[in-house]
């Protein structure tokens, strides 16, 4: 087996060899601990029959662990300076394709068709750039790609919001959006010492496995997400008050909201954070009849 990229010494050697400095604006915090990489990859349950999609391979620390475990790795990297570095560091592996692109602009579905044909078991595994974690996760879920799930490192605070249960402080529209599509759980908490440079915030790894069907059947997904976002606009307000601001203008608005709440059997004085995702789904379907 080749020497790991993710040791402090080898990372420094690679960066010196290529005259590379980190770009903080691109969320570049490289992993320098092979143990944490083994743990992250272990959470993805990869085999040679599965494929991995990585967002932001950096200098290849996680990529090489994925290449050892999976049949194929497809990685998207925004920073052009890293392409020759990756070509060098990943030269021992013939099962990695790197696409130079901003993941938010990439046609991921087309790339999967082209690069991962024949793979049915596809996991996204990444140490995400922290300035853009939520948009990346939402893009990968909303585009309804043929992926089984995601194992990603991100800020601990966002990880807590994503995996939060009703009735907790961290529970909100982000928890609902992600848990509507996936079963999300905290997989690892990670010390700052495994990164170069060390990030300012604490980190965690979460695992999200896509549900065969979304958690609740809704008539209109966009409207469902509008209802959930509105319900948390001011956390201390009741669901009725938040919806009065969030629903479109119209005659008898308050009466119609109260009617929908009664039909969904939800007390109008409850706060958004006490409603389960199923309750939000039922409420959105009732409101849809009056406001769409």
Tell me whether residue 94 is annotated as binding. no
| Minimal distance, residue 39 CB to ligand SAM, in Å | 13
Q: Which two tokens stand for residue 89?
A: 């560091």
Q: Which is nearer to ligand SAM, 26 or 258 (CB)?
A: 26
**Bridge partners of residue 186, in order along the sequence:** 206
- To the question of whether residue 42 is assigned a binding role by annotation, the answer is no
By C-beta, is 23 or 165 nearer to ligand SAM? 23
Structure tokens that stand for 47 in this block: 């085999």
Q: Which stretches of 65-194 are assigned E, i.e. beta strand?
A: 72-77, 96-100, 121-127, 149-155, 182-190
Minimum CB distance to ligand SAM, residue 83 (Å): 11
Of 49-57, 170-178, 242-250, 252-260, the window that binds ligand SAM (rule: CB under 6 A) is 49-57
Q: Are strands 149-155 and 121-127 parallel, antiparallel or unpaired?
A: parallel
Stretch that binds ligand SAM, among 12-20, 78-86, 139-147, 245-253 (CB under 6 A): 78-86
Q: Does 281 bind ligand SAM (CB under 6 A)?
A: no
- The reply to whether 246 sits near ligand SAM by the rule CB under 6 A is no
| Residue with Cβ nearer ligand SAM (155 or 242) | 155
Question: Do residues 163 and 175 lie in contact, with contact meaning Cβ atoms separated by under 8 Å?
Answer: yes
Question: Does the footprint of ligand SAM cover residue 34 (CB under 6 A)?
Answer: no
User: CB-wise, 116 or 277, nearer to ligand SAM?
Assistant: 116
Restricted to residues 117-176, the positions that interact with ligand SAM (CB under 6 A) are 127, 129, 132
How far apart are the C-alpha atoms of 211 and 181, rounded to whole Å? 6
Per residue, what are the HEC states of 192-235?
A: HHHEECCCCCCEEEEEEEECCCCCCCCCCHHHHHHHHHHHCCCC
CB-closest chain residue to ligand SAM: 56
30 counts as binding ligand SAM under rule CB under 6 A: yes
Number of Cβ within 10 Å of residue 252's Cβ equals 10
Annotated binding residue 242:
no
Q: Give the separation between CA 2 and CA 282, rounded to whole angstroms.
A: 54
**Which residues make beta-bridge pairs with 150?**
124, 208
- Known binding residues: 29, 31, 56, 77, 102, 127
* Binding residues vs ligand SAM (CB under 6 A): 26-31, 55-58, 61-62, 76-79, 82, 102-104, 127, 129, 132
């Amino acid at each position: 087996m080749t020497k790991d990229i993710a040791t402090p010494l080898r990372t420094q050697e690679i960066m010196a060899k290529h005259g590379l400095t980190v770009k903080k604006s691109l969320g570049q915090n490289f992993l320098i601990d092979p143990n944490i990489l083994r743990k992250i990859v272990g959470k993805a349950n990869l085999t040679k029959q599965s494929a991995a999609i990585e967002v932001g391979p950096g200098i290849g620390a996680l990529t090489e662990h994925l290449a050892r475990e999976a049949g194929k790795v497809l990685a998207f990297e925004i920073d052009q300076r890293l392409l020759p570095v990756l070509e060098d560091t990943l030269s021992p592996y013939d099962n990695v394709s790197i696409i130079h692109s901003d993941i938010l602009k990439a046609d991921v579905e087309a790339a999967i068709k082209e690069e991962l044909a024949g793979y049915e078991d596809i996991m996204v595994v990444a140490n995400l750039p922290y300035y853009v974690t939520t948009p990346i996760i939402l893009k990968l879920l909303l585009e309804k790609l043929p992926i089984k799930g995601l194992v990603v490192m991100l800020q601990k605070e966002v990880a807590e919001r994503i995996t939060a249960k009703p009735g907790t402080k961290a529970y909100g529209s982000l928890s609902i959006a992600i848990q509507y599509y996936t079963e999300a759980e905290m997989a690892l908490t990670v010390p700052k010492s495994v990164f170069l440079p060390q990030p300012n915030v604490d980190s965690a790894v979460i695992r999200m496995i896509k549900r065969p069907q979304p958690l609740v059947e809704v008539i209109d997904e966009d409207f469902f997400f509008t209802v959930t976002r509105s319900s948390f606009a001011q956390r201390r307000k009741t669901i009725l008050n938040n919806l009065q601001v969030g629903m479109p203008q119209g005659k008898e608005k308050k009466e119609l909201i109260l009617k929908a709440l009664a039909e969904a059997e939800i007390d109008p004085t409850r706060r958004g954070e006490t409603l389960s995702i199923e309750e939000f789904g039922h409420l959105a379907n009732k409101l849809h009849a009056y406001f769409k």
